[in-house]
Structure 1
Amino acid sequence: MNSRTATTERVRPGVLLRQAPQRRSPPLRTRRQCSQLPHQPGRRARTQPSLRSRSPHISRARGSAQRRSLVTSWRFPPSSVAARNSRMSHLAEQLASLHARVRAAEQRASRPAGSVELLAVTKGVPAERIAEAIDAGQRAFGENRVQELEEKRAAVAQLRPGVEVRWDLIGPLQSNKLRRALVAADRISSVDRVELLARIGEISRADASARRILLQVNIDEDAAKSGFTPDALRVALPEIAAIISGAPLTIEGLLTVGRLTSNPAEARSTFSSFVAFSHSVREAASAQGLQIGPLISAGMSGDFELAIEEGATQVRLGSTLFGARG
């Protein structure tokens, strides 16, 4: 019997245990050290674990809040939030200033407060700015082009869901875009010929949908502008009455584009003539069984106060509210 056997026999069975070898984890390497290692195909370099994996004691709610904070700061950095708030504040101040000027013009003309509607013209204005105007209290908007009206109406509805606003189409309307316009607009304010009115009547009878319109008048008989001339509208009243009698259409009033002039006296003359014509043609239409509403849309950013003083009940303001278009 050798010495190893003797030693083993003196130990009770089950007592002799073989010590398991201890496995040591390799030291952690930094990213810089890992980048210096030779590349081994099929293996990924081990890097130091992230702070999140080494901090299990952080609660899930706290981690979610931290992630939301990071996302918010990435999407809306402090500088952009400050700029947006500044724009909103300026727009609200500008809108309040314009309403004050409208009220002052009403007072000068001895008209009751609130007798004039401010229509915000959104040509070239992005949907985000329109949403800011809604936040400031504006609810009536006018757009010149059918495609822009479609796009902006959909975008604003997503930005301010549940807020009811009115969209008027105030630009020239081509017959091939009429159906789209009737879907996108709450009111067509630029009906400038009998043929267009007749087509609107046909579509409205077919789909049994009530439509609101304004007749556009070229009060200065300017060849560069659209609209009925005063004489042409008077002559067309019987034909217009026949169209309206068989269709769910309402003519809520008249619209004109003022004379492009820097002379206030000339602009005032245009508005005075248009208001006088609106009253006279309404009486002539009523005698033929045709009802034309009292809305008189005239005056834009450069001359709206003169239009109000002469009797306009709606002014269309774009650049003076939103600023110069890019």
Structure 2
Amino acid sequence: MSAPGAGAARAEEFATRLAAVRTRIAEACRAAGRDPAEVELVAVTKTVPAEDVALLLDLGLETFGENRVQEAGAKVERVAELRPAARPRWSLVGGLQRNKAAAAARWADRVESVDSIRVADALDRAVRRLLETGGRAAPLPVLLQFSVDGDPRRGGVPAADLEPLAEHVARCGGLQLRGVMAVAPLGMEQDRAFSAVATAANRVRTRFPQANTLSAGMSGDFESAIRHGSDVVRVGTALVGDRPLASP
């Protein structure tokens, strides 16, 4: 059980952190000649309890990013119990295995990590079944995860395969191609990484104008991502503090 006043202290901590993040976003947008309203803030809440998500909702945050399908499904239900009047949006920002596509399709409002035709097909089948049975009201918006350096040990599709994957997803009746997501590789200079991301995203957008969302940038590098046109920043540590590493 939490100590008396623990919830209020946590809410105050979140408010302070959120104000700092919003200031950073605003300053980055000013430097880039952009309107801060153009940048969506996704609070990455992996390993964060539903009670904390409820406090973040109270502070005006609307979109939450989760990395693990099972953890997220239970959290979505619990947040709905805690804040029944709220309508949070949930993004899957971590890698997705095909055997978890059906579970993700039940709660995700957006999947940002489609990086193969097999994953796209698994999601498409799951969403179409839900559409037929009333489990979803609309197709699932997805972003394609781009691998900046093409390293197969990390998630993401290399540059040569990005447009073919976009073509495939655009034909999936259960999915809506909305854009590109990327993570800057460790050790790569930030502006170089996000310049490559922007180039890849622009290629996809040119062929598929509806794919106009770029999700790039996290707690330590989102200023650079904003300079290179990111519309979505995924912020965890800067909002909720350090969290213990969780097993996959």
Tell me by how many angstroms 1:281 deviates.
Answer: 2.2
Q: Any gaps of 5 or more consecutive residues in structure 2? A: none
What is the root-mean-square deviation in Å for CA atoms of aligned residues? 1.8
The aligned counterpart of 2:152 is 223
Q: Identify the residue that residue 168 of structure 2 maps to in structure 1.
A: 239
Where do residues 40-59 of structure 1 align in structure 2 (5 Å cutoff)? none
2:4 corresponds, among 63, 81, 85, to: 81
Identity %, equivalent residues: 37
Are 2:223 and 1:300 aligned?
A: no
C-alpha displacement of 1:292:
4.1
Find 1:270's aligned residue among 185, 189, 193: 193
The TM-score, its normalising length taken from structure 2, stands at: 0.90
The one-letter amino acid of 1:218's match is: S
**Partner of residue 258 from structure 1, selected from 180, 184, 193:** 184
**Alignment counterpart, residue 87 of structure 2, candidates 164, 168, 192:** 164
Q: Over residues 16-61 of structure 1, what are the superposed CA-to-partner deviations in whole Å (9 max), with x where a residue is unaligned?
A: xxxxxxxxxxxxxxxxxxxxxxxxxxxxxxxxxxxxxxxxxxxxxx
Aligned residues of 2:143 and 2:181 also touching (Cα < 8 A): yes
| Structure index of larger Rg | 1
Check if 1:320 corresponds to 2:243.
no
Asked if the contact 1:272–1:311 (Cα under 8 Å) also holds between the matched residues in 2, the reply is no
Alignment partners' CA distance in 2, 1:279 and 1:213: 16
Residue number among 162, 182, 191 corresponding to 2:105 in the alignment: 182
Matched position secondary structure for 1:293: coil
CA deviation profile, 1:206-248 (whole Å, cap 9, x unmatched): 443421111111122123211111111234444344x33xx14
Residue type matched to 1:215 in 2?
L
1:155 aligned residue (75, 78, 83): 78
Would the aligned equivalents of 1:252 and 1:293 in 2 still touch at CA under 8 Å? yes
Q: C-alpha distance in 1, partners of 2:111/2:190?
A: 25
TM-aligned CA deviation for residue 113 of structure 1:
2.5
**More displaced stretch, 184-193 vs 137-146:** 184-193
Q: Residue 236 and residue 127 in structure 1: after superposition, are their counterparts in 2 closer, same or farther (change >3 A)? A: closer
In 2, Cα distance between equivalents of 1:280 and 1:125: 36
Give the one of 182, 191, 197 matched to 2:120: 197
**What's 2:62 paired with?**
139
Give me the whole-angstrom Cα distance separating, in 2, the residues matched to 1:238 and 1:295: 16
C-alpha distance in 2, partners of 1:212/1:272?
24
Q: Which amino acid aligns with 2:217?
A: G
CA distance in 1, matches of 2:175, 2:119: 13
Gap runs ≥5 in structure 1? 1-74
The Cα of 1:317 is off from its aligned counterpart by 0.6
Output the amino acid matched with 2:117.
V
How many residue pairs match? The answer is 238
Distance 1:216 1:136 in 2: 29
Q: Evaluate the alpha carbon distance shift between residue 236 and residue 124 of structure 1 in structure 2; reply closer, same or farther with a 3 A threshold.
A: closer
C-alpha distance 237-152 of structure 1, shift in aligned 2 (>3 A): closer
User: Secondary structure of the equivalent of 2:214?
Assistant: strand
What code does the residue aligned with 2:212 have?
A: P
